[in-house]
Amino acid sequence: MAVKLFQNAFKGNASESIAINPAHVMSVFESKSINPESGEEEVLTHIFSVNGNTWQVTDAYLDVVARLNEE
């Protein structure tokens, strides 16, 4: 199983990275939101899997797409 590493937007995990298997990714998009802690606007990339999981990462949308498409 080959996985790709991304920066998890969710705070409170043991580490800041998340490993995702690209074979299970169905779609990717980005959104803007207000960070509740800082009050500043942030852009997050959302990764959806075929089994219904959703991950939010801080990596740029085009970087995520490029890494998911790497061999």
Q: Which pLDDT belongs to residue 11?
A: 79
Whole-number pLDDT of residue 6:
97
32 burial via Cβ count (<10 Å: 0-12, 13-18, 19+): exposed
- Contact criterion met (CB below 8 Å) for 48 and 28: yes
Q: What is the mean pLDDT of the chain?
A: 92
For 11-45, write each residue's pLDDT tens digit. 777 788 999 999 999 999 999 988 888 899 999 99
pTM of the entire predicted model: 0.86
